Chains A and B, each alone.
Chain A
Amino acid sequence: MTSDSPAFPRFRAVADHAVLVELGDRIDASIHDRVRHLDTALQVRPFTGFAEAVPAYASVLVEFDPLVTDHAAATRALRELVGPSAPPSPPAPPPEAAPVRDVLVCYEESLAPDLERVATRCGLTREAVVAAHLSGQYRVAMYGFAPGYAYLAGVPESIRLPRKPAPVRDVPAGTVLIAGAQCLVTTLAMPTGWWAIGRSPTRILRADSDRPFLFDVGDGVRFGRIDRRAFDAAVAAADAADPTRVR
């Protein structure tokens, strides 16, 4: 950003209870590898007073208990976990080692309100947009914005579009959205300016479960196409298994 910025990693004090570790200033796979490396290291070797880590594209927010430790001690511990500004050591697990989660998606017209417009803007047929979306190599970069909103990196170049100029309200839960290189499956009815190209019956956020969130940061994601009948059946089955879902 500015020319006087020190090299990464940078450690920034946040209020009285956190340190923001900046590992880069852009969305980039190798920077995200370093994010995952630090996040994993903190889970394995938390420092005294560590409370919570929030990984993002290029940073990790590290919360601590100010009654137990302080920014200086937390930063010393984090510096050790991050290592020198060279590539991480040991390296983050390669993407192929992470689990791949399957997500079903139905691209039928009534469930894909923006598919036609995406096709027009990209100069493709609807089927070509679907094929491109299915061909993407997706990885969970971070969760953010709202509960269970997992940002998936890896939308193919041919269907990358800037977001809409104005958000659309009450986009239903389960909507498969794209914007730029990012893809997201919504978990709640929320406004969004991203493009709705399908609907998924696969629940990313499951209230009554030992594993309430389908993905961990770093997981791979593979989309699988289903037709409307399979979609309806999958929704009914998921409703029966977890009736608490907010729609």
Chain B
Amino acid sequence: MMGGGRATLEILQAGPHTSVQDAGRAGLARFGVPASGPMDRTAFAIAHAALGNAPGDPAIEVAAGGLTLECREGAVTVAVAGGGFHVSRDDGAGDAHRWRVTSLRAGMRLAIRPGVWGSWTYVTVAGRLAAPRWLGSAATHAPSGLGGGALSAGQRVQVEDAELRAERDGPIPCPAFARPRCAIRVVLGPQERFFSPATVNTFLSAPFALTDAYDRMGVRLRGPALRVRGPIDMPSEAIVRGSVQVSGDGAATILLADHPTTGGYPRIATVIGDDLDGLAQLRSHDIITFHPVTPEEAIEAARAGHRARERYRAGLSRA
């Protein structure tokens, strides 16, 4: 391990929705502020763990359009994990089809290209990614642009206390729990009373497709109309990440990292936390189905998922 300097990364190309994200700003939903943070929290955590970083530091969230950056000064080891993206250095080092840790020196380029699956990938750095903070967090709230902010070609990102950790260079294994998920577990409600039993049955049995209306706020689905029973007379209530909201036209939207904090449309079900990251790695036109679980089963899934992530992390640090 060596370093302590500063590295400058220049963004040569970035697709839309590329932004700085950290673990998010939890606890402010009561003021209208969603937590934001990574769309795929699992991949974000893996990219940090692969470098031996503290979890939750700022990183670059790369969307489906990919990212090319060049190290303009200094040297820094970076990790890329999340989705089936192709990762390559311009000197051809490494297997381009795998998540990896790689060390960049001045003049080297890193290219991240979309692969056969996945919508989001994460670039973490051995050091501190300098980014503006808003309300205590560098997570970008995309609708306002507040926080670390969106990234686009021409921008430079500074890494403070940049280190080379070349001993970590190499592929990062992609565990089964970080793969995309099409069978989505939900707890019904909390406003399922606005729907007839037949409509709830349709929701739980029909396939739904993700549409192009997919961004950090949520993804609109295409499928059979989920008719709301009676007038929508509910006062606005809190929304969570994973809420499946049905608008007046019967279309369902799953709310994601930058969701509005409240809404006046009924939520037929809520996606459990353990399936949100795998859902976020799907793409427009992918097909999903919903599967009901009890609250007790949902809790057990959260705990089992946590144990699997901990085992994986322990394996990484032994490697």
| A interface with B by C-beta (< 8 Å) | 1-2, 5, 12-18, 20, 22, 25-27, 39, 51-61, 63, 66-67, 70-72, 142-151, 188, 190, 205, 207, 212-213, 217, 244, 246
Contact of B270 among A14, A25, A27, A148 (CB under 8 A): A14
B285 at the interface (CB under 8 A from A): no
B173 to chain A, nearest CB (A): 24
Verify B32–A147 contact, CB threshold 8 A: yes
Residues in chain B near residue A17, CB distance under 8 A: 240, 273, 302
Contact of B145 among A18, A149, A246 (CB under 8 A): A246
With A13-B189, A25-B233 already in contact, 14 other A-B pairs whose C-beta atoms are closer than 8 Å: A1-B193, A16-B295, A16-B302, A20-B237, A52-B27, A56-B236, A56-B262, A60-B238, A66-B303, A70-B299, A143-B262, A144-B261, A217-B30, A246-B144
- Once A1-B194, A26-B235, A145-B262 are accepted as A-B contacts, the answer to whether A16 and B30 lie under 8 Å apart by CB is no
B222-248: CB near A (< 8 Å → 1, else 0) gives 000000001001111110101000000
- Once A15-B272, A246-B144 are accepted as A-B contacts, the answer to whether A143 and B187 lie under 8 Å apart by CB is no
B277-305: CB near A (< 8 Å → 1, else 0) gives 00000000000000000011011011100
Residue of B28, B144, B146, B271 ringed by the most chain A CB atoms within 10 A: B144
Residues in chain B near residue A20, CB distance under 8 A: 190, 237-238
Contact of B301 among A16, A18, A51 (CB under 8 A): A16
Verify B240–A14 contact, CB threshold 8 A: yes
Question: Measured between alpha carbons, how far is A66 from B300 in the docked complex, in Å?
Answer: 9
Question: Measured between alpha carbons, how far is A18 from B193 in the docked complex, in Å?
Answer: 18
Residues in chain B near residue A59, CB distance under 8 A: 235, 237-238
17 examples of A-B residue contacts, CB within 8 angstroms:
A5-B193, A14-B189, A15-B271, A15-B273, A15-B298, A27-B235, A56-B262, A59-B238, A61-B29, A71-B299, A147-B33, A147-B144, A148-B33, A205-B31, A207-B134, A207-B146, A246-B146
State the majority secondary structure of interface residues on B.
mixed
Contact of A15 among B187, B194, B235 (CB under 8 A): B187
B274 at the interface (CB under 8 A from A): yes
| B interface with A by C-beta (< 8 Å) | 26-33, 134-135, 141, 143-146, 186-187, 189-190, 193-194, 230, 233-238, 240, 242, 260-263, 270-274, 295-296, 298-299, 301-303, 306
Question: Measured between alpha carbons, how far is A137 from B301 in the docked complex, in Å?
Answer: 48
Verify A145–B260 contact, CB threshold 8 A: yes
Residues in chain A near residue B270, CB distance under 8 A: 14-15
Question: Measured between alpha carbons, how far is A147 from B33 in the docked complex, in Å?
Answer: 5
Question: Measured between alpha carbons, how far is A17 from B263 in the docked complex, in Å?
Answer: 19
Verify A212–B135 contact, CB threshold 8 A: yes
Residues in chain B near residue A26, CB distance under 8 A: 233, 235
A38 to chain B, nearest CB (A): 13
- Once A54-B261, A147-B141, A212-B135 are accepted as A-B contacts, the answer to whether A71 and B235 lie under 8 Å apart by CB is no
Question: Measured between alpha carbons, how far is A54 from B261 in the docked complex, in Å?
Answer: 9
Question: Measured between alpha carbons, how far is A2 from B266 in the docked complex, in Å?
Answer: 14
